[in-house]
Structure 1
């Protein structure tokens, strides 16, 4: 199993009051967290889970991409990417909702003593009926080493 080092959760609370945010082809940041890895042994790994809720009036399968990066800004590194293509199921004219959860791991990342992870969500360009982010959205991660 390994030695537990740190765990954090980033919960996006911007959806209170029924606000929804349209998705686009530009990846939208929905969570950021940092992990203390200062006392890690030689075999560091980060386990993470990200969740987002998407609503759409169309029940077509609009691909949703979730990406997890290590680091921030131009030097960040993509460590995980998943595309969800299942259609939302709903009644015609009523918004259908999908809860998308991904789980992954970043094995043997470089260890500067503190690692930052960010989660982004997007859809391909050219989608006519864009779904919206309705929340909740979260990223949780835990660091282990041996």
Structure 2
């Protein structure tokens, strides 16, 4: 008599288990998603602004001669303008030092590299200014900006 009682309990447990596990329905968002529909990407036709690049240019100590890295950094800005930002402007800011001749010579050295690279005067802005921080004295910053 023990066997007939165990059988209905086993069948009842199996039925409950199958009902619980076998009754899976997709979530409504899965049903609502169309199948085999091509995805269309919308593109914005607005002008994408150029990335702004800024390099601090190095000179040999006490000299207006550019370091090779300084020269390369100027060319990097010029190259980025040509490839990424043809309408961008090159900004050159030279911070004054106590030696005004050295400041002017460094500024001229930067301008020479930029103009020799084919940048026209109307595509650049150059200035010599007082440093806001004493550590900026004698430093030249070359920046590419989208305008």
Structures share a fold, TM > 0.5?
no
The structure, 1 or 2, with the larger RCO (C-alpha pairs under 8 Å, 6+ apart) is: 1
Task: Give the structure-2-normalised TM-score.
Answer: 0.35
Task: Give the structure-1-normalised TM-score.
Answer: 0.35
Structure ranking higher in strand proportion: 1
**Which protein has the larger Cα radius of gyration, Structure 1 or Structure 2?**
2
